[in-house]
Amino acid sequence: MFLGICLAELFLAFGGNSDYASIKGIAGETAGGIDWSMRNREEARQKAKELVSKMTVEEKASQLRHNAPAIPRLNVPEYNWWSEALHGVARAGLATSFPQAIGMAASFDKELLFQVGEAIATEGRAKYNMFSSEGDRGIYKGLTFWAPNINIFRDPRWGRGHETYGEDPYLTGELGKAFVQGLQGDGEVLKAAACAKHFAVHSGPEGDRHHFDAVVSDKDLWETYLPAFEKLVKEAEVEAVMGAYNRTNGEPCCANTPLMEEILRGQWDFQGHFVSDCWAIRDFHTEHMVTDTPEESAALALKKGCDVNCGNTYLHMLSAYEKGLVTEEEITRAAERLFTTRYLLGLFDGCEYDEIGYDRVECEEHLALADKATAKSVVLLKNNGVLPLKKDALKTIGVIGPNANNREALIGNYFGTSSRYITVLEGIQDAVKDFAKVLYAEGSHLFKDKVRGGLKEAAYVAKNSDVVLLCVGLDATLEGEQGDTGNSDAAGDKLDLLLPKVQRDLIEEVLAVGKPTIILNMTGSAMDLRLEQEKADAILQLWYPGARGGKVIADILFGEISPSGKLPVTFYKETADLPDFKDYSMKGRTYRYLEKEPLYPFGYGLTYGDVNIKKVFFDNAIIQHGDRISLDTDGAVEFVVELENCNGVATDEVLQVYVKAVEDADEVPNGKLAGMTRVHVSGNGTVSCTITMDKSAFTVVDEKGCRRNAKGPFEISIGFGQPDARTSSLMGKECVRVTIMNK
């Protein structure tokens, strides 16, 4: 249905900004016209071929499981393919804890994601070196990290949405690419192997994922669900791709002819290995009912190109071979791909990363990077002037709410162990210990009817405080993965956009006191914050800020750091504004297709500074709001923007450019993000920056899934958020809009 032959000829890959090439040197070294990475892959492939040729069919089949056993006679040690690194090395003991992925997405900062990927790879190598020296090669101890999650967060009810980089294909692709390049490195071997997951149309419902069929149009597939995967395969050379649990257009994602054979291996020429999600292949015969036996399921997955099975269905591979369901050549093909990755990681020949010591785990450099990531992730949604707080003007500060002292709300899911945790309460206490008294009341449980401390204690604390910091929200027990959460009613998904009723009661009780109140919302997704927007004095979206995030949150509250994050997702007003959760059509979803006014738009976020666009230059000439420019849209377009901070508070800002082909019927209704750059502007200072749109910004996808050059003219908007009335009214800033005509 969605082979998209014309797209193979016309597709122009998203991104590829020249300003990012310097970070990794992705222009690449060449020898004899062959890129170094391809040369290394060919060498690794030949070594893998030679090694696998010495194995029996039984030995080869044994290597296709995530817990591959040792082959002593060939000096092949055991290897467990299952390791996690969503926002730090996970489930393997001590590691630096970065903000959850959705928080890092709010930074809109490619260089930050690259640096985080580098730090995670360094700690992953340090831990692998330590564990292997101790003879421990078990689960979570390897170098094949099943991250990043680049699914599109199309519906805020999806419990795993906080693992993603948000709702936009361009933002997801740019940040995912940077993370993969940082994780895999640019050495002679892979520093670690990244994995793009979950290929490809996957975003809930969690409770139905094992039998659900995500039906998607060709246009939505190629316009929304595939671009980030294509970018990571083609531009970042991601080493692995993981299939999803569900079906897409009738076929299981771990045995899907169009996705795996025609697109991934065919059009995109993917050279790495494919891994199933855990126990997804078992679903073929127990949930999807496309096969009858484990042997048939194993054979179907292998034939379609799934090289390694997370789970136990490939235990039946030898039986499938003996029954004639698979050939030895098919088993050999998968084994060669897997050993190619192991050679690329330098696991047999030794490599430059073998000397990375355990002292690099949770080192000062990485902890400082985690603090920087937290600072860039926090989004200021409302401020009537109460923020930043002045320590010397306060005598008593009330800290209230179930997430104020909740470690679980710091770390999200897929996390490592931190040697220290700093909750929001602890961060505030440390920050004001020489200035003010801190009163604390939990006020309510996170979601249960049973109330700890109670509303009356919360009200008393509010009445006796100069300012109230009300810390509410969720944690991974309320939004997360099926089977990895306490939210049994929705299997990890949210039923609606409301905070739990016990928290809504607490918020109303505290707001009724009438003291200056700042809402600190700790969630990984968009919530219905209409009451808070109407009655609170300020709102900060903290996401899940990392194990020591409370310190940075306090620094933001007291003005040591200006908030500068931008929303990577739309905050809707209410659940009724959403289409049906199971409908994978993009109609009415995300900022690109939104039909109703949002509460807070995608790309929105305030700062303590007052940064404005002073001048915009194109081709060395100043352009004004409303100008019409004629240029060749077959190449990248650059604008130089001069920014001016009109107050004395230094801050970061995120300049964003949106584009819309206003007369092309195939353009997304509300235009799309096409460029971004994060800039630091000193107090009362000015700075110039360059913002680039790749030529893909001037393309559209038609109903057949074919990407083509769009019909002009193009409306270009440059600003600190979307070019809509809601953004302008909230921020008090207009975008600079120009029209581009094709030459």
Residues identified as active-site: 277, 479
The CA-CA-CA angle for residues 302, 303, 308, to 5°, reads 20
CB under 8 Å to 106, separation ≥6 — which residues?
166, 376, 377, 378, 379, 541, 543, 565, 566, 567, 568, 605
Q: How far is CA 108 from CA 528, 566, 676, 721, in A?
A: 23, 7, 7, 12
Contacts made by residues 697-702, CB under 8 angstroms, sequence distance 24+: 697/637, 697/659, 697/672, 698/633, 698/634, 698/659, 698/661, 699/12, 700/661, 700/664, 700/666, 700/667, 700/668, 701/7, 701/219, 701/222, 701/223, 701/666, 702/219, 702/666
Instruction: Report yes or no: 416 and 456 within 8 Å, Cβ to Cβ.
Output: no
Residue 594, SS3 per DSSP: coil
616, 578 contact by CB (below 8 A): no
> Which of 33, 50, 163 has the alpha carbon at shortest distance from 101?
163
Is the bond leading into 388 cis (omega within 30 degrees of zero)?
yes
Per DSSP, the three-state class of 345 is coil
List the end-to-end C-alpha distance of the chain, in Å, as a whole number.
36
| Residue 644 bridge partners (DSSP) | 612, 686
Three-point CA angle 694, 696, 700, nearest 5°: 150
Residue with tokens 């003007």: 393
Write out the two tokens for 596: 């109703």
Tokens of 257: 């002819």
Half-sphere exposure at residue 511, Cβ-oriented, CA atoms within 13 angstroms: 18
Length of the chain: 743
d(CA 144, CA 308): 12
Which H or E element spans position 554?
A: helix 549-557
Backbone angles phi, psi at 495, to 5 degrees: -80, -30
Residue indicated by tokens 């908030």: 563
| Distance set, CA 348 to CA 44, 339, 342 (Å) | 10, 10, 7
Question: Which parts of 75-223 fold into alpha helices (H)?
Answer: 101-105, 110-133, 169-184, 218-220
Give, in degrees to the nearest 5, the angle at Cα 182 between 66 and 191.
Answer: 50
